[in-house]
Amino acid sequence: MENYQLVVQADFLRYFANSVIVTVGTIIPAVVISFMAAFAIVRSSATSRVLRGSNGLFLMGLAIPLQATVIPLYLLIIKLGLYDTLTAIILPSIAFAIPLSVLVLANFIRDVPRELFESMRMDGASDWRQLWSLCFPLTRPALVTVTIYNGLAVWNGFLLPLILTQDPQRRTLPLGLWSFQEGQYGVNVPAVLAAVVITTLPILLLYAIGRRQLLSGLTAGFSK
């Protein structure tokens, strides 16, 4: 327990809080936007060229690595006056989480029987009602999958906090763990491992809660 006490004294609770804020602030908007975008693409792409083009635009986003956008992203954050804030990490993280989320959710929504949409439409349900009353329960495994996948990527993100923040009070856990290991506790292996345990606990807890939904989401297409 002395090792965990050293970790707490090294301001890891602040790093933990920053990581929670960044992860939650990224995942909720990214999943909601991706879910609505996937629904619009699947349900309206047959009649709208704009939505067909937007689907291709989302797919193009998968081909752009984060490292290729560091310099323009840094300059953009500086011009917006967001440098050295948690918002500077959240906004790019949302943008990079959306393409894959839209791809996964769109494939799940396509598997929803069209007859269900038609029956709800005949009953007078709007697109908004179909989205949340029909698609949301049926695509819950996909939503949990993209939530955990993107949450893991944001929680372990190192490059964006390193480039877009400077104040030690704005460090997230990966950056704090790096500075902790390079600092006065660099030779204290038990203390470093205690910091790693604290870093991994939230992800393990999230997986334990959504394990069934995650597994069903990852294996949904193998039975067809």
Task: Give pLDDT, residue 126.
Answer: 87
Tell me if residue 158 falls in helix, strand or coil. coil
| 182 pLDDT higher than 90 | no
Per mean pLDDT, which range of 19-23, 40-44, 158-162 is the poorest? 40-44
Tens digits of residue pLDDT in 131-148: 988 889 888 888 988 998
- Identify the DSSP state of 85: S
Q: Which tokens sit at 204?
A: 């393990």
Task: Give pLDDT, residue 224.
Answer: 40
The CA R_g of the chain, rounded to the nearest whole Å, is 20
Mean pLDDT of 74-89: 95
| 222 pLDDT higher than 50 | no
Sign for the pseudo-dihedral over CA of 59, 155, 189, 204:
negative
Model confidence at 206, pLDDT cuts 50, 70, 90, reads: confident
pTM: 0.85
Show the domain range for 158.
2-223
User: Helices 12-44 and 49-61 meet at what angle, rounded to 10?
Assistant: 150
Question: 210: part of which helix (H) or strand (E)?
Answer: none
Which has the closest alpha carbon to 67: 159, 152, 178, 171?
159
Sign for the pseudo-dihedral over CA of 99, 23, 32, 72:
negative
What's the mean per-residue pLDDT of the chain?
84
C-alpha to C-alpha distance for 55 and 38, rounded to whole angstroms: 8
Task: Give pLDDT, residue 199.
Answer: 85
CATH number at residue 164: 1.10.3720.10
Asked if residue 60 lies in contact with residue 191, where contact means CB atoms within 8 angstroms, the answer is no
| 184 pLDDT higher than 90 | no
Sign for the pseudo-dihedral over CA of 108, 38, 19, 149:
positive
Tens digits of residue pLDDT in 29-78: 999 999 999 998 888 755 567 776 777 788 888 888 888 999 999 999 99
Tell me if residue 2 falls in helix, strand or coil. helix
Task: Give pLDDT, residue 218.
Answer: 55
130 residue type, one letter: Q
Q: Please count the structural domains in the chain.
A: 1
